[in-house]
Amino acid sequence: MMAQKSFLEVSEENHAKLVEFVERLRAAGLKLPGRLGKVNKTAVARACGFAREVFQQNSRFARTLEEAVADLGIDVPQAEEPEPRDSGDKSRIMRLEQQLAAARSENHELRRRLRRYEAIVDHVASSGRRVIP
């Protein structure tokens, strides 16, 4: 039987995901996703795997995000760039960018899990003993 994680454990895991997301952006030389001149909290939350409301409910998350904005900046389209043909194109592009950010984060998490499961399989194959995660 799997034990329920405490609120504090879940909060710590989610904060670690946020910090990891910011570090991945920094390492890739990317900025935080933006919308209407502000950081797109929905896209960040989706990419990290938690609800957007966490930024309002937990001051530590809000502070980490503010620090990331100050450090990395926000990726917003410049006024000099040609405008998409209509607002449907803008919303479609924004939605696709959010999906891409979420997919990248999910991909990273799945690769981490895969490495863990491969290690368990290797252990079982070599020792013949079952591992309880």
Per-residue pLDDT tens over the stretch 70-116: 988 888 755 434 455 566 788 888 888 888 888 888 888 889 899 99
Return the pLDDT at 108. 85
Give me the mean pLDDT over the 117-126 stretch: 86
Q: What is the pLDDT of residues 37-83, one digit of tens each?
A: 888 999 899 999 998 999 999 999 999 999 998 988 888 755 434 45
What pLDDT is recorded for position 88? 74
Residues with Cβ within 8 Å of residue 65, at least 6 apart in sequence = 18, 32, 39, 41, 44, 55
Q: Which sequence spans correspond to the domains of the chain?
A: 7-127
The residue to which tokens 């795997």 are assigned: 49
Specify the pTM: 0.55
Q: What pLDDT score was predicted for residue 13?
A: 92
The b/e string for 59-85 (b: 16+ C-beta within 10 A; e otherwise) is eebeebbeebbeebeeebeeeeeeeee
43 and 99 Cβ atoms separated by less than 8 Å = no
